[in-house]
Structure 1
């Protein structure tokens, strides 16, 4: 199946990441306005102390939404140039309103999806976050849960109603934060060969997230949060971002726990781009733009559309050179992501002997969904299963309809098994595994199906409401204690290679052991983890 046939399917995957709900307009490369207010407004806001919080850059006015204080578009850093780490936020006078979403990164392409170069609300200076909290200035130190959105490292936004943190914050008495940061060519173009200024350009999108975590360390107490109890969690590309933070020594100590939801493929999460691949990619981009090392600073003013067009062609040329396999097809493809530079990213998340050193002491909750892509991408389904394979599915998932055997996922499930197994091998903090099996009537247990349950943003019958409470509570308790648990779940054992302990999350949840080991081996006999 050619990549052009995947476009509508890809939109299903990234719908949660590409919605622009409430995203305010700005023009790419212009600084984000600091919401100046007149003297009368300042005086009124200052006297109205409810929801006013003091940050390192100035006072912020949030909104009270039925007991949950919400702060939108809060700047945590400022990017005055492309391809370099962002600097500190310029302080403002008076009280700044935080009642509108900030800019998101210019959007790129992923899995062959066309680029929307006319996207409004995008800016290289997109370093802002959103906060939901049950209380400010009340002396409490609540767990902090930092959400990293999906869309690979190429597209997406924190400004998404599906990931609204109000219900999660309210039900768990936690502070929820979602982060906008640079993506695609703006976040991961490796210019390190062209001078010290661009030393970290290949990982500048990750430096944004690290800057957000540093801002949280300095400011979250004012929002009722505990800077010594921070959990980063994300789905798909957001999960891969969690893994990148567990790999970088520059993020060490800024968070204590990680949650990865369907967040890995072989080249995004298990491994990332090599230095050689990333520098070849940059050479292709510069050649396509007619830019040489002598006039490199022209990159600061190249239009977004020209930059993205040059990047799209360069990604394909680089993939062809290094024979990087595409998802779901027999073609080659390269996606944007972190660069293993030996410094900011010393190694891949999965190493030969275990897991990245920086993540050794970080407990990890990790899992995937039963179907992921198979109900949306027919070429990824196991359409010609043998009787032995069908029987293995029935043994692995006795509560599932046998007719769904062909739609069991291996594309993400196997890389997740590799990550959790190598993390367990490391002998550090524990790993907790899950498979989410609740099925939508039309899409099965597809990619992203767990997100509304995690955020407790589910409408439906009593069983669905109960599952949402169970899943969100498990995530909350993991953030609080480092061990996932919920009232309706059995005791959640840590995973290792021997026990294969995995929680099946559904309207009837259960803990199983090595449940699909035989099935995975039959379906993908050459995959080793």
Structure 2
């Protein structure tokens, strides 16, 4: 294995990230959309990894691809809810031509399946595979030594409940345009990925890592170890790895930054629209009577629901009592006997199939005991250069299909009930997301003495202004919108919102070039570089313009601006903002954002709500404004 070189030191004696091999971009190659077809093995893709010899395919854009490579054994049967085990070697030549199965999940927009399957449970527990894309090198011309290329490892999002790496083949654009080696990863999701029940610990005599319940996190660490040990065979530099992900993928980037088990496995990190949320051991294990369904997904609660669904008890309270008297070995055996469909059936899916299920646990082994901002502020973490940011209209993705805001024409076309109210309410949601999940962790890193932090806000909002539907307003710069641009996708391969048109093509190309240049230069040298005269400055305390705004030339282009805002000032602006039309609107927004949203629950209180109501003459209880679905 290639030994990692030490970072250079600056004039102040601090470590600076070393530059990775350039990998000159192929600027003459046109990127095309890959249509579904039968892939055939290509002789130039023959490589040897730890498990044996494998062969991949040549892509439409001229790059090479290897799909469905196991990085760990199938986590099924006795290996369910165990740490990932090294993959077994294979006989002969493995044809790495098809994506591995997605993790079990409710099918929706993020699962590449026909729309007729939406709402059904799809996927397979045998999901621990990864995909590799690289420039088209012949077998005897793969870069070696200092010529190896930077590696970018993509972690897909989906609330840690849905999604698959198979949806992100657009990542191959980095190989075609920038000479990168790109890896996309599948990992366990939902109740199979994060589940900390004491019976499993007692029955299995599990390791400290297994007792954590952070199986999805352990999968990602195993994938990064596989990359470290094998990526050189594909021309990648194991000492120059950038992890990046969006939404829950961004959350997983943050947890990998915090995990001591991930130390040394990556050298840069990009968190796009992350969630900086983790759960204590008590929250992850014990039942509670909190009002939000998303707060009642502890291991004991889930098992009580399963016990009830199986007809073993009349209700979850009776089930919980019975389960405390059930021998651990019997309970663990029963849990492992259940089909994934049965495990998922006790969760209610929301937007794009996301169901609010168990998530990362602060166990003290895989993840520190403190919340992520506290770890970044005071603790030991993997201090590598970090880009972190969000989209201006982040939360509209989760409001655009909700009956509180839209009615469906012919059961399909969403029509806004009140555009002004929708814009105002979504702005508070989106700013709360940024304040809690971007500003707070970024400033915590600075407070802990880490200087290499860059923040951004994605502002592109040039979806077509279709009459009545108005996707430009309905979506704006919505959650997930930036991914296609970051992947340099101007051909529409990742146009998940269906908003690409000839009229917005020029702006899309400008933003895609800017983001692609910034992301790949960061992967090479640890500093994001922009074309032209624009400069992306590091974030610092007291900086007036601390964040890069990313937009098309028509929307203002690339520019630094001051957008930092904490939750206290956001609440103050709710009281004072002239955009809020009435006292009832102020109360409604407060209740929905700070009391009933699963991302911000605990940031508000009934007392604060009552004070707001008295000030603005709103006598309705907060429960009146509760949304029908939480996600």
Q: TM-score category by the smaller chain?
A: 0.7 to 0.9
1:12 aligns with: none
- Give how far 1:123 is off: 2.1
Match of 1:511 among 559, 572, 588: 559
2:124 aligns with: 123
1:303 aligns with: 339
**Alpha-carbon distance in structure 1 between the residues aligned to 2:458 and 2:221:** 29
Whether the 8 Å CA contact 2:107–2:120 is kept in 1: the answer is: no
**Alpha-carbon distance in structure 1 between the residues aligned to 2:334 and 2:374:** 41
1:211 aligns with: 222
Summarize the alignment of residues 106-117 of structure 1 with structure 2, pairs less than 5 Å apart.
106-107=104-105, 116-117=119-120
Deviation per CA, 1:300-327: give whole Å up to 9, x if none: 22122222234x38xx9xxxxxxxxx99
**Alpha-carbon distance in structure 1 between the residues aligned to 2:96 and 2:176:** 19
**Alpha-carbon distance in structure 2 between the residues aligned to 1:104 and 1:199:** 27
1:138 aligns with: 143
**Alpha-carbon distance in structure 2 between the residues aligned to 1:411 and 1:375:** 15
Deviation per CA, 1:322-364: give whole Å up to 9, x if none: xxxx99xxxxx95421111111111345344744745352111
Q: Decide whether aligned partners of structure 1 residues 301 and 451 sit closer, same or farther in structure 2, where only a CA change above 3 A counts.
A: same
**Alpha-carbon distance in structure 2 between the residues aligned to 1:58 and 1:353:** 40
Match of 1:343 among 365, 389, 396: 365
Structure 1 position 169 matched with structure 2 position 175: yes
**Alpha-carbon distance in structure 1 between the residues aligned to 2:507 and 2:344:** 45
Q: Which stretch shows the higher mean deviation, 300-309 or 82-91? A: 300-309
Match of 1:197 among 202, 206, 219: 206
Question: Partner of 2:450: helix, strand, or coil?
Answer: coil
**Alpha-carbon distance in structure 1 between the residues aligned to 2:280 and 2:525:** 36
**Alpha-carbon distance in structure 1 between the residues aligned to 2:53 and 2:401:** 53
Deviation per CA, 1:9-68: give whole Å up to 9, x if none: xxxxxxxxxxxx9799xxxxxxxxxxxxxxxx9xxx8xx741101000011101122431
Question: Partner of 1:211: helix, strand, or coil?
Answer: helix
Q: Decide whether aligned partners of structure 1 residues 360 and 463 sit closer, same or farther in structure 2, where only a CA change above 3 A counts.
A: same
Structure 1 position 67 matched with structure 2 position 62: yes
Deviation per CA, 1:96-125: give whole Å up to 9, x if none: 111111111111599xxx995541xx2222
Deviation per CA, 1:412-469: give whole Å up to 9, x if none: 2112111111111111251100000000231210111101001111245223112111
- Give how far 1:246 is off: 0.7
- Give how far 1:209 is off: 0.5
**Alpha-carbon distance in structure 1 between the residues aligned to 2:106 and 2:195:** 12
Match of 2:299 among 245, 262, 282: 282
- Give how far 1:262 is off: 0.7
Match of 1:466 among 507, 510, 515: 510
- Give how far 1:473 is off: 1.0
1:502 aligns with: 547
Match of 1:523 among 559, 573, 576: 573
The answer for unaligned runs of 5 or more in structure 1 is: 1-20, 25-40, 317-325, 328-332, 384-400
Deviation per CA, 1:159-195: give whole Å up to 9, x if none: 11x5522212211111111100101111111135435
Structure 1 position 263 matched with structure 2 position 274: yes
Tell me the C-alpha RMSD between the 2 structures: 3.4
Question: Partner of 1:165: helix, strand, or coil?
Answer: helix
2:10 aligns with: none
Question: Partner of 1:226: helix, strand, or coil?
Answer: strand
**Alpha-carbon distance in structure 1 between the residues aligned to 2:450 and 2:382:** 5
Whether the 8 Å CA contact 1:349–1:356 is kept in 2: the answer is: no
Q: Decide whether aligned partners of structure 1 residues 520 and 200 sit closer, same or farther in structure 2, where only a CA change above 3 A counts.
A: same
Whether the 8 Å CA contact 1:107–1:115 is kept in 2: the answer is: no
**Alpha-carbon distance in structure 2 between the residues aligned to 1:68 and 1:476:** 17
Question: Partner of 1:410: helix, strand, or coil?
Answer: helix
Whether the 8 Å CA contact 2:490–2:512 is kept in 1: the answer is: yes
Question: Partner of 1:362: helix, strand, or coil?
Answer: coil
**Alpha-carbon distance in structure 2 between the residues aligned to 1:356 and 1:133:** 39
**Alpha-carbon distance in structure 2 between the residues aligned to 1:286 and 1:404:** 40
**Alpha-carbon distance in structure 1 between the residues aligned to 2:233 and 2:127:** 23
**Alpha-carbon distance in structure 1 between the residues aligned to 2:397 and 2:283:** 32
Q: Decide whether aligned partners of structure 1 residues 489 and 377 sit closer, same or farther in structure 2, where only a CA change above 3 A counts.
A: farther
**Alpha-carbon distance in structure 1 between the residues aligned to 2:70 and 2:214:** 20
Question: Partner of 1:164: helix, strand, or coil?
Answer: helix
Deviation per CA, 1:190-237: give whole Å up to 9, x if none: 135435326434101111110000000011011110100101101111
Q: Decide whether aligned partners of structure 1 residues 486 and 96 sit closer, same or farther in structure 2, where only a CA change above 3 A counts.
A: same
Structure 1 position 367 matched with structure 2 position 389: yes
2:628 aligns with: none
> How many residues end up aligned between the 2 structures?
442
Structure 1 position 434 matched with structure 2 position 456: yes
- For the pair shown, the structure with the greater C-alpha radius of gyration is 2
Summarize the alignment of residues 149-160 of structure 1 with structure 2, pairs less than 5 Å apart.
149-160=156-167
- Give how far 1:279 is off: 1.4
**Alpha-carbon distance in structure 1 between the residues aligned to 2:125 and 2:152:** 25
1:31 aligns with: none
Summarize the alignment of residues 396-415 of structure 1 with structure 2, pairs less than 5 Å apart.
407-408=426-427, 409-415=430-436
Q: Decide whether aligned partners of structure 1 residues 108 and 184 sit closer, same or farther in structure 2, where only a CA change above 3 A counts.
A: farther
Structure 1 position 456 matched with structure 2 position 488: yes
Q: Decide whether aligned partners of structure 1 residues 482 and 101 sit closer, same or farther in structure 2, where only a CA change above 3 A counts.
A: same
2:96 aligns with: 98
Whether the 8 Å CA contact 1:23–1:100 is kept in 2: the answer is: no
